[in-house]
């Protein structure tokens, strides 16, 4: 048994889930997995191959051909789809506008959830997404549910896109996309975005990244200490 824990971070779009998960993983020496990137890469595959995700047989045939991996490029983790670096492409509005529809397909979820569970089997991992604490790692020792005002989220996403050199998006389009994705992600039949009963809620509208990080790290350290204590009692 390991003293390492699983950290599951769920919440609405553009709440800073990945920034927090990444920072926690770095501090604790854990693996970080962006589960949203896997849904985004799957969406890219369907779009690039002009395949319909509404047709069950098409989806069944397509899924075995989708291989998603993560690898470091210049110190940063990039997403690879069938050996190709797609990190930049999966963040564009072309993907953001379709990803919630692809994520609602049960067969897609089944494949990606299995893959995510394999990645987390050894513990010592921080994963962010929409169903991590409720489906993927129901037994995660620390579950966080993040939220923030739509204004704060829109502003952050806009800055993120601009930092990547993507300027041809307007604020209304970004806001509309976030609200629409939240609506679809929260109302789909399979694994909708909901707060796990045992999740700690973090509303970061008025929190600095440092304040939020310190709060989450404190929680993680408490859970790790509790796990060590449990292991000592058993051992």
Give contact residues for ligand DC (rule: CB under 6 A).
13, 35-36, 39-40, 99-100, 103, 129-132, 181, 185
Q: Least distance in Å: CB of 71 to ligand DC?
A: 18
Q: Are strands 31-34 and 200-203 parallel, antiparallel or unpaired?
A: unpaired
Q: Least distance in Å: CB of 57 to ligand DC?
A: 22
DSSP 199: P
Query: 208: which 2 tokens?
Result: 């600095």
Nearer to ligand DC, 100 or 212 (CB): 100
Nearer to ligand DC, 35 or 212 (CB): 35
Q: Least distance in Å: CB of 219 to ligand DC?
A: 20
Query: 159: which 2 tokens?
Result: 């800055």
Residue with tokens 């629409």: 180
Cβ-in-10-Å burial (0-12, 13-18, 19+) of 194 comes to middle
The CA–CA distances, whole Å, from 91 to 37, 81, 87 equal: 8, 14, 7
Nearer to ligand DC, 86 or 132 (CB): 132
Q: Least distance in Å: CB of 55 to ligand DC?
A: 20
Nearer to ligand DC, 28 or 36 (CB): 36
Q: Are strands 125-129 and 31-34 parallel, antiparallel or unpaired?
A: parallel
């Amino acid at each position: 048994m390991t003293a390492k824990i699983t950290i599951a971070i769920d919440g609405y779009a553009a709440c800073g889930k990945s920034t927090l998960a990444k920072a926690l993983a770095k501090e604790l020496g854990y693996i970080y997995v962006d589960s949203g990137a896997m849904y985004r890469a799957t969406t890219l595959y369907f779009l690039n191959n002009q395949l319909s995700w509404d047709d069950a047989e098409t989806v069944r045939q397509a899924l075995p051909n989708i291989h998603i991996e993560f690898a470091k490029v210049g110190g940063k983790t990039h997403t690879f789809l069938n050996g190709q670096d797609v990190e930049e492409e999966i963040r564009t509005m072309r993907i953001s506008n379709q990803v919630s529809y692809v994520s609602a397909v049960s067969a897609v979820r089944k494949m990606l959830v299995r893959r995510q569970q394999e990645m987390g089997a050894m513990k010592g991992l921080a994963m962010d997404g929409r169903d991590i604490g409720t489906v993927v790692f129901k037994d995660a020792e620390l579950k966080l549910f993040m939220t923030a005002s739509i204004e704060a989220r829109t502003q952050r996403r806009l800055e993120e896109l601009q930092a990547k050199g993507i300027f041809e998006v307007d604020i209304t389009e970004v806001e509309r996309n976030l609200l629409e994705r939240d609506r679809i992600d929260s109302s789909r039949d399979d694994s909708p975005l909901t707060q796990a009963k045992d999740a700690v809620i973090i509303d970061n509208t008025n929190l600095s990244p440092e304040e939020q990080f310190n709060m989450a790290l404190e929680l993680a350290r408490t859970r790790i200490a509790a796990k060590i204590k449990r292991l000592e009692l058993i051992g």
